[in-house]
């Protein structure tokens, strides 16, 4: 009797799984954006934490090096040599000076509103991110860490490139540039 119930459950599971499909053409783009946001927020959270840990580690090492340098310089020489601080901060042209105030979901929605495109463009952007974030044999240190400082610029660049590749109708670079995050003025709350 139990075997029959197990088979029935397995049959139902198989039927349910076969019914779960993602129809790229018919799936609402707003829902695709929600899923994309969820994924990107997880990636950013992890990468921000890794960056913060590395920065703390680097700062601790610099402080220890400065202490050793001060001890050595006071005993060996009266002249004071300044060592340049070695920051292992890998920034790119996509890195902002500060983290934008707009959420990823709001930014993706803004892009969709002012530069409408299909699901293919948003999903292709995720593929671009995956490829950019991986080191290769020919570029062992060229991987980009996607974090809070660069995600917005990477998103607009990725959507712009993918829409030109996948869409029959796309916008000018100037139009995409106008989607950018507007900074709050001092008088605004």
Structural domain of 104: 27-177
In a domain, 182, yes or no: no
Most confident of 56-60, 73-77, 102-106, 147-151: 102-106
DSSP annotation of 187: T
**In the predicted structure, residue 100 carries a pLDDT above the cut 70:** yes
Residue-level pLDDT at 16:
61
Which whole number is the average pLDDT over 44-55? 86
Cβ pair 143, 133 in contact under 8 A: yes
Structurally, the chain folds into a number of domains equal to 1
Looking at per-residue confidence, does 4 or 45 come out higher? 45
* Cα-trace Rg, the chain: 24
Cβ pair 33, 105 in contact under 8 A: yes
Q: What is the total residue count of the chain?
A: 189
Cβ within 8 Å of residue 150, ≥6 positions away: 92, 94, 95, 96, 144
In a domain, 8, yes or no: no
In a domain, 15, yes or no: no
Pick the range with the lowest mean pLDDT from 45-54, 59-68, 119-128, 142-151. Answer: 59-68
In a domain, 14, yes or no: no
- pLDDT tens digits along 129-151: 998 888 777 777 768 888 899 89
**Nearest CA-CA partner of 113 in 159, 166, 70, 59:** 159
CA-to-CA distance for 103 and 94, rounded, in angstroms? 17
- pLDDT tens digits along 11-48: 555 556 566 777 888 899 999 999 999 999 999 999 88
DSSP for 61-111?
A: HHHHHHHHHHHHHHHH-SS-PPPPP-------TT--SS--SS-HHHHHHHH
Report the CATH number at residue 108.
1.10.472.10
Percentage of the chain lying above the pLDDT 90 cut: 31
In a domain, 134, yes or no: yes
Looking at per-residue confidence, does 22 or 50 come out higher? 50
In a domain, 3, yes or no: no
Torsion (CA) 26, 103, 151, 111 in degrees, nearest 10: 50
Which whole number is the average pLDDT over 60-66? 64
Q: How many helices (H) and strands (E) does the chain have?
A: 6, 0
For the record, the structure tokens of 58 come out as 């680097």
CA-to-CA distance for 98 and 87, rounded, in angstroms? 17
């Amino acid at each position: 009797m139990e075997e029959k119930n197990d088979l029935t459950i397995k049959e139902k599971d198989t039927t349910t799984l076969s019914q779960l499909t993602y129809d790229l053409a018919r799936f609402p783009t707003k829902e695709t954006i929600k899923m994309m946001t969820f994924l990107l927020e997880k990636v950013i959270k992890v990468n921000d934490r890794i960056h913060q840990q590395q920065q703390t580690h680097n700062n601790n090492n610099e402080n220890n090096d400065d202490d050793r340098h001060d001890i050595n310089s006071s005993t060996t020489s009266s002249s004071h040599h300044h060592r340049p601080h070695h920051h292992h901060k890998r920034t790119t042209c996509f890195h902002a000076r500060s983290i934008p105030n707009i959420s990823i979901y709001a930014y993706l929605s803004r892009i969709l509103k002012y530069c409408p495109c299909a699901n293919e463009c948003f999903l292709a952007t995720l593929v671009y991110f995956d490829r950019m974030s991986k080191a290769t044999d020919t570029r062992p240190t060229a991987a980009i860490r996607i974090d809070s400082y660069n995600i917005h610029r990477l998103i607009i660049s990725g959507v712009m490139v993918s829409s030109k590749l996948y869409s029959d109708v796309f916008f000018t670079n100037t139009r995409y540039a106008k989607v950018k995050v507007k900074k709050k003025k001092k008088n605004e709350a």
